[in-house]
Structure formats: C-alpha cells, structure tokens
Amino acid sequence: VSMQPCPAVPLSNGLRVPVLGLGTSHDGGYSHEAVVYALQECGIRHIDTAKRYGCEEALARSISESKVPHEDLWITTKLWPGDYGYQSTKQACRASAARLGVEYVDLYLIHWPDCTVPGRSNREVRADTWRALEEMYDEGLCRSIGVSNFLISHLEELKEDCGVVPHVNQVEFHPFQQPWELVEYCRREGIAFEGYCPLAKGQALNHPLILELAKKYNRSASQICIRWSIQWNLIRFIITNGFQNNGVITIPKSTKPHRILENCKVFEFQLEDKDMAALRALHDGRHVSWDPTHVA
C-alpha cells in the first residue's frame, strides 16, 4: 500500500506526535488483525488505548507481531479514576506499561476530571495525581503527560497547583462538537489538542453536507470528517477570531482493515476553505461521549 507520509504535531517538550492515530476502545473496540494491518500495511505509528478499554495486553501482542519497534511508535494510555491519587497512580502506570510490554509510555493521560474520592475535592486529587505524573515524566517512565476531557477551569486549577503544564489535552472533537474556546486556550498555553470521536460515533456519516462533500471530493464521509479535523493543523487556516494552526491530533477508531486504510488516505487531498467553513458551521454542541461540563 502506497501511503502519503503522516505529518507530526510538536509538543511543548520537543517530542512530535503523528497527527493521525488509531483509537481503540472496550466493548468490541479492539481487533488484533486490524492493529497488525494498521502498523504493517498502513504505516500507522500512533496507537491510543487506556486501562479502561481492557486491551493493553492484546495491544502488546499485536505490536510484537507487527515487528514495529517501540521507538518508532507513539503509544498513549490512560489512568482510570479508580487509580487516582499519588501512590496508586504510579502503580497503575507501571502496571499499564507492563501489560503493554514496554519500558515507557509515550503519553500518559488522566482519563477524566471527576475523581470520586470520598472526603476529598476533585481539585486536591487531580493535583496529587498530576504530581505523580510529573515525577514519572522526570524518571522517563512517561515521555509526555497530559489529560483527557479537561475543560479550561480544570486546566487553570492544574496550572496553579502543579509545575508541568500538560503536554496534551484529549477531548471529544467532531463537526457537531467544536470547543473552539478550549482549542484556543490550549494553543495559548502550549497544550497540544487531540480530538477523539472524529466521526461522532457514526452520526456524522449520514449528514447531508458531509455526504455532499464526500461526493464532491470523491471520498468517503469518514475521510471528509478526518480530513476536516487534521486540516486545522496541516494548513494555516485563519478563521474569524484570528487564531490559526490549532493542531488537532485525531484518533479515529476502527476494527476493520479496509476502513483503517481508508482513514489513512486523508493526506492525498485538501478541503477548500469554504468547505472547511461550512463544516465549522455544523457545531450544535452535542456530545456523543462523556460530557465533562458538570464536573467541578
């Protein structure tokens, strides 16, 4: 399979993350065959998983079979709220690395801002947990550290309480959920913005505008959505409020090899500015995943 090279987004610590990754999930969101195919045939070098998904050990087997060395890969995993707190965070990260069969993880994320620790505020627990991540970053167990589903308020508190600004914030991002204020905040603070659910769990794939654009560009609806996400990074696309080059890293999920191949072929075309703007106008605020707005 001849593929266009995948560009990378620089982090504040100088590392570079491939702008397109392969997401995994629980409940049937993992396929050994698909991961091996993605690594060997599609040139995917960025894999996103989490303890919550229950597939870290399976992923280790797939990576081993692919023969792609870890130093050529970007592996992200995440810390589940049940493991929050200084000591348990360190144990959980080491356990994830062991299940993944790696000596370090490339990116370790706090999965969710709500900590549910009785008698302690979310802010206190997030600060303790983040301190453990900072120490593991210093030790090299985590090459970079970040958060997932954090809003500006959560990031502001973390900034006040801690030393290292998160390298990444991974948030739901698709044509119907475009948190531009958060994107712009992350850009100003040097936090790379990563979007999950780029196809809105399939809801975007039958939208009339997206289908019309798929026809116009002779592409699939999923390719239009993924291209739209990553193109904020790949071109310096200036929009009405004047910020640019947002750098949206995107991690579509699929367990079907032909879909993964299709999703990787998004570097071969470019959406016109007017079509980028038309897709931007689809935002209606809906969440297809968790909504963190109620979390203090």
Task: Select which of 53, 84, 108, 137 is catalytic.
Answer: 53
Edge-to-edge order in the sheet of strand 145-148: 22-23, 46-48, 74-79, 107-110, 145-148, 168-172, 192-196, 248-250
Known active-site residue 53: yes
User: Radius of gyration over alpha carbons of the chain, in Å?
Assistant: 18
Q: Which residues partner with 16 through β-bridges?
A: 10
Instruction: Copy the structure tokens of residue 15.
Output: 């590392």
Which one-letter amino acid corresponds to residue 167? H
Position 239 scores a pLDDT of 43
Position 234 scores a pLDDT of 57
For the cut 90, the answer to whether the pLDDT of residue 12 exceeds it is yes
Q: Hey, is 181 helix, strand or coil?
A: helix
pLDDT tens readout for residues 58-86: 999 999 999 999 999 999 999 999 999 99
pLDDT tens readout for residues 144-159: 999 999 999 999 999 9
Q: Which CATH class is domain 8-283?
A: alpha beta
Position 241 scores a pLDDT of 40
Give the up-direction half-sphere exposure of residue 196: CA atoms within 13 A in the CB hemisphere.
24
**Nearest-angstrom CA–CA distance, 158 and 162:** 6
What is the arithmetic mean of pLDDT over 222-235? Answer: 86
Total-model pTM: 0.95
Identify which of 198, 111, 173 has the alpha carbon closest to the alpha carbon of residue 148: 111
What is the arithmetic mean of pLDDT over 49-57? Answer: 96
**Nearest-angstrom CA–CA distance, 76 and 21:** 10
Q: Has 258 been labeled as part of a binding site?
A: no
